[in-house]
Amino acid sequence: MDTALPTEHLERYHSASQRARVATEAWAAANLYCVNCDSPRLTPAPPNAEAVDYHCPKCRDPFQLKGQSKPFGHRILDSAYSKMMAAITSDRAPHFVLLHYVLDQWRVSDVLLIPRFAIPKSAIEKRKPLSASARRAGWVGCNIVLTSIPDDARVHIITDGIPRKPSEARRHFRHVQPLAELSVEERGWTLDVLTAVRSLNRTQFALDEVYAKERELSRLHPGNRHVRDKIRQQLQVLRDKDFLEFLGRGEYRLR
């Protein structure tokens, strides 16, 4: 995998943002591979395809590329709130590829993949409607809150300019792929509980420590009045999906 951004024919573009967009899209078409199967390339989607930039030519998984020159923070700017929520609810969200590049070096620094089944509704943050004077007055966009996506579900493709072996990235993807077997609503609970567990910053933890996150989980799932029961259930799901090991007497360990 080449980390140099292509620079051919960029002189025809006047703005730095246009040149960066063209370069990153060309780089992705030449270098990105599918993590869901063994395809070594992704195929650019047709022009104006909604919310999808690439497809795997073999398994047809959809991918959306988001590139920027600054390291990604806690939030990613995304499209319309209603469309993103509908995509998650109907299980049609794409895999998100987050590409951080160093513009003055024309080099890819980091690439992170968020699997399509690892984005809970709790990670979608509604933005304020556009003002009445805006061209699309009243339009409501959204952010994807990265801190609401557990580290377990973040597949690193390139870190600090060093590409990861495709076999290792695919193995990581396969480890979290059992989450896709859950229904959308159940998966949201599972991801939120896993995020709560990760926030403890401990490899081994007790059930009571997760119970301490009850208020936070109640806020994310206001329709459920039996949050502690749900926490216990989701810890069992995470155990069955090989994310946790149950040690007995209310003690667990992250795998």
Structure confidence by residue, pLDDT tens digits, 54-77: 999 999 999 999 999 999 999 999
In the chain, the largest separation of any two C-alpha atoms, in whole Å, equals 66
Q: How confident is the model at residue 11 (pLDDT cuts 50, 70, 90)?
A: confident
Residue 233 lies in a domain: yes
Instruction: Give, in order, the Cα–Cα distances in Å from 101 to each of 27, 28, 112, 185.
Output: 11, 12, 12, 35
Reading the block at residue 138, the tokens are: 């009243």
Residues 139 and 189 placed together within one structural domain of the fold? no
User: What is the rounded distance in angstroms from the CA atom of residue 12 to the CA atom of residue 3?
Assistant: 23
User: What is the rounded distance in angstroms from the CA atom of residue 248 to the CA atom of residue 148?
Assistant: 28
User: What is the rounded distance in angstroms from the CA atom of residue 28 to the CA atom of residue 192?
Assistant: 31
Residues 160 and 203 placed together within one structural domain of the fold? no
Residues 223 and 147 placed together within one structural domain of the fold? no
Lowest-pLDDT range, 7-16, 156-165, 184-193, 243-252? 7-16
Instruction: Give, in order, the Cα–Cα distances in Å from 25 to each of 7, 15, 30, 38, 146.
Output: 12, 16, 9, 21, 22
Helix 227-240 to helix 184-198 angle, to the nearest 10 degrees? 90
Residue 224 lies in a domain: yes
Reading the block at residue 242, the tokens are: 């090989």
**Which neighbouring-strand residues pair with 248?**
251
Does position 50 have pLDDT exceeding 90, yes or no?
no
This prediction has a pTM of 0.92
What total of structural domains would you count in the chain?
2
Residues 144 and 20 placed together within one structural domain of the fold? yes
Does position 13 have pLDDT exceeding 90, yes or no?
no
Say which CATH number the domain at 97 has: 3.40.210.30
pLDDT at 17: 86
User: What is the rounded distance in angstroms from the CA atom of residue 182 to the CA atom of residue 188?
Assistant: 9
pLDDT at 72: 95
pLDDT in tens, 63-117: 999 999 999 999 999 999 999 999 999 999 999 999 999 988 999 999 999 999 9
User: What is the rounded distance in angstroms from the CA atom of residue 236 to the CA atom of residue 246?
Assistant: 8
Q: How confident is the model at residue 47 (pLDDT cuts 50, 70, 90)?
A: confident
Which residue segment(s) compose the domain that 137 sits in?
Answer: 10-164
DSSP states along 176-219 = HGGGGGS-HHHHHHHHHHHHHHHTT--SEEEHHHHHTTHHHHHH
- CA angle (149 as vertex; 29, 250 as ends), nearest 5: 140
Residue 172 lies in a domain: no
**Which neighbouring-strand residues pair with 159?**
162
- Stated as kind and residue range, the H or E segment containing 21 is helix 16-31
Q: What is the mean pLDDT of the chain?
A: 95
Residue 155 lies in a domain: yes
The stretch 217-234 carries a mean pLDDT of 95
pLDDT at 65: 97
Residues 119 and 220 placed together within one structural domain of the fold? no
The stretch 117-125 carries a mean pLDDT of 96
pLDDT at 106: 93
Does position 228 have pLDDT exceeding 90, yes or no?
yes
Residue 175 lies in a domain: no
Lowest-pLDDT range, 7-11, 50-54, 69-73? 7-11
pLDDT at 144: 97
State percent of the chain over pLDDT 70.
100
pLDDT in tens, 139-169: 999 999 999 999 999 999 999 999 999 999 9
Does position 187 have pLDDT exceeding 90, yes or no?
yes
